């Protein structure tokens, strides 16, 4: 395989909240390869956003990287402290598209200016040249009559149009890595599809590495090459889309997929994961998912599992993959998926 452009190793991120220490990211590791699309999935509070924000040095003031490394082009971003250092990364190397387009743009500046200031900042363009390029980018993200739209304000744009503008800002940055933090969650369904399509086509055209944060597995199947599943601040399984959807190995991934309404059996109640995510204020021993996993092994409560490789691209952090582990059958829905996958692979 080619060299990763970003390599995160054993990242630990902590926050101090009301005098207590919360460990939001508990040793997460992830590699990103050029021009691929990786989806990070997980429930709310699993640390998806925090994980990616550390790559930009955009943690809230009460949070810090406790240990681990974030290697980008030979530099360890986990050691970056000053604004000056981060300014060499933000926008230039890594850019971000946020969830809510309604509030992501400054209401008092024209849309054109908000894109143009990026061109001036990162590419040293000025005046007419910058304006021309801005209008060109507006067109590229699918905004009609870009010349007229250039001088308009965000309140004259609809939600989907504003998200296109936010994406245009990211495109203007021309980054190596683009992080999309639930970019379609705040939009209605028809617009969602359009925005997904736009992101996908831009990714192909620009060859950027796309990181897609979402809890919508439907979106994942649509856009991603690879999937990383996050639970309680850890990446517990990663692999190609096919591997994760058709051959999941971690009990949490099983549970997550089983709760998809599309996979439910007609007439039976929809599956939901019992219990609540662990309290991140206390130290977690063993597998964080064990208390919610009816088939948990004894060792799951005692020792944290390492990654076991399933295939060159597929690994999962579960003791079930240890050669000494007893055979635990996945739930019926997952077995059905696996059977389908075997058929599909042959």
> From the CB of 149, what's the least distance to another protein, in Å?
14
User: Is 161 an interacting residue with respect to another protein (CB under 8 A)?
Assistant: no
Instruction: Please state, in angstroms and rounded to a whole number, the distance separating the CA atoms of residues 230 and 24.
Output: 12
Q: Whose Cβ is closer to another protein: residue 20's or residue 103's?
A: 103
Of the candidate spans 24-32, 73-81, 99-107, 257-265, the one that interacts with another protein by CB under 8 A turns out to be: 99-107
User: Is 229 an interacting residue with respect to another protein (CB under 8 A)?
Assistant: no
User: Is 166 an interacting residue with respect to another protein (CB under 8 A)?
Assistant: yes
**CB of 76 within 8 A of CB of 85?**
no
Of the candidate spans 10-18, 70-78, 87-95, 304-312, the one that interacts with another protein by CB under 8 A turns out to be: 87-95
User: Is 64 an interacting residue with respect to another protein (CB under 8 A)?
Assistant: no
CB-count exposure of residue 57 (10 Å: 0-12, 13-18, 19+): buried
Closest CA to 158 of 144, 172, 177, 176: 144
Closest CA to 308 of 324, 328, 292: 324
- Which of 5, 40, 96, 211 is close enough to bind another protein by CB under 8 A? 96
> From the CB of 73, what's the least distance to another protein, in Å?
16
Kindly report the CA angle at 118 between 114 and 119, in degrees rounded to 5?
A: 115
Instruction: Please state, in angstroms and rounded to a whole number, the distance separating the CA atoms of residues 261 and 321.
Output: 27
Q: Whose Cβ is closer to another protein: residue 57's or residue 251's?
A: 57
User: Is 170 an interacting residue with respect to another protein (CB under 8 A)?
Assistant: yes
Closest CA to 90 of 54, 56, 52: 56
DSSP 22: E
User: Is 155 an interacting residue with respect to another protein (CB under 8 A)?
Assistant: yes
User: Is 98 an interacting residue with respect to another protein (CB under 8 A)?
Assistant: yes
Of the candidate spans 17-25, 83-91, 135-143, 231-239, the one that interacts with another protein by CB under 8 A turns out to be: 83-91
Cβ within 8 Å of residue 282, ≥6 positions away: none
Instruction: Please state, in angstroms and rounded to a whole number, the distance separating the CA atoms of residues 128 and 162.
Output: 24
The bridge status of strand 94-97 relative to strand 177-181 is parallel
Q: Whose Cβ is closer to another protein: residue 140's or residue 300's?
A: 140
Taking CB under 8 A as the rule, which mask of x and - marks residues 109-148 in contact with another protein?
A: x-------xx--xx--------------------------
Q: Whose Cβ is closer to another protein: residue 171's or residue 244's?
A: 171
Closest CA to 299 of 315, 289, 287: 287
Instruction: Please state, in angstroms and rounded to a whole number, the distance separating the CA atoms of residues 237 and 228.
Output: 6
Q: Give one word for 49, left, alpha or beta, with left for phi > 0 and alpha for psi -120 to 50.
A: alpha
Q: Residue 214: which H helix or E strand, with range?
A: strand 209-214
User: Is 87 an interacting residue with respect to another protein (CB under 8 A)?
Assistant: yes
User: Is 38 an interacting residue with respect to another protein (CB under 8 A)?
Assistant: no
Taking CB under 8 A as the rule, which mask of x and - marks residues 246-275 in contact with another protein?
A: ------------------------------
Which residues make beta-bridge pairs with 213? 40, 181
> From the CB of 120, what's the least distance to another protein, in Å?
10
User: Is 171 an interacting residue with respect to another protein (CB under 8 A)?
Assistant: no
- Which of 16, 103, 282, 311 is close enough to bind another protein by CB under 8 A? 103
Instruction: Please state, in angstroms and rounded to a whole number, the distance separating the CA atoms of residues 261 and 220.
Output: 15
Size of the site for another protein (CB under 8 A): 29
Instruction: Please state, in angstroms and rounded to a whole number, the distance separating the CA atoms of residues 171 and 165.
Output: 10
> From the CB of 108, what's the least distance to another protein, in Å?
5
- Which of 2, 18, 82, 107 is close enough to bind another protein by CB under 8 A? 107
Which stretches of the chain bind another protein, using CB under 8 A?
Answer: 56, 58, 83, 87, 89-92, 95-96, 98, 100, 103-109, 117-118, 121-122, 153, 155, 166, 169-170, 173
């Amino acid at each position: 395989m080619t060299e990763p452009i970003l390599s995160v190793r054993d990242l630990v991120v902590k926050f101090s909240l009301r005098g207590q220490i919360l460990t939001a990211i508990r040793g997460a590791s992830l590699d990103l390869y050029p021009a691929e699309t990786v989806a990070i999935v997980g429930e709310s509070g699993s640390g998806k956003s925090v994980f990616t924000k550390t790559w930009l040095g955009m943690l809230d003031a009460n949070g810090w990287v406790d240990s681990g490394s974030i290697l980008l082009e030979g530099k360890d971003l986990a050691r970056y402290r000053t604004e000056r250092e981060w300014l060499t990364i933000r926008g230039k190397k890594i850019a971000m598209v946020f969830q809510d387009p309604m509030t992501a743009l400054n209401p008092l500046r024209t849309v054109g200016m908000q894109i143009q200031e990026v061109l001036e900042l990162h590419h040293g363009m000025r005046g007419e040249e910058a304006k021309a390029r801005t209008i060109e980018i507006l067109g590229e993200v699918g905004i009609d009559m870009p010349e007229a739209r250039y001088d308009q304000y965000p309140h004259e744009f609809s939600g989907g149009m504003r998200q296109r503008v936010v994406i245009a800002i990211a495109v203007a940055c021309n980054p190596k890595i683009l992080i999309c933090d639930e970019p379609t969650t705040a939009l209605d369904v028809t617009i969602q599809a359009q925005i997904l399509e736009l992101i996908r086509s831009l990714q192909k055209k620009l060859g950027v590495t796309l990181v897609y944060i979402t809890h919508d597995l439907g979106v994942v199947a649509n856009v991603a090459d690879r999937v990383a599943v996050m639970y309680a601040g850890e990446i517990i399984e990663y692999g190609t889309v096919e591997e994760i959807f058709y051959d999941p190995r971690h009990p949490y991934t099983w549970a997550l997929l089983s709760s998809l309404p599309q996979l439910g059996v007609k007439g039976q109640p929809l599956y939901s994961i019992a219990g609540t995510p662990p309290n991140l204020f206390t130290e977690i021993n063993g597998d964080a998912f064990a208390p919610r996993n009816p088939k948990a092994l004894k060792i799951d409560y005692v020792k944290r599992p390492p990654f076991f490789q399933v295939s060159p691209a597929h690994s999962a952090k579960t003791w079930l993959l240890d050669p000494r582990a007893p055979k635990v059958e996945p739930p019926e829905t997952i077995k059905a998926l696996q059977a389908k996958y075997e058929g599909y692979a042959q």
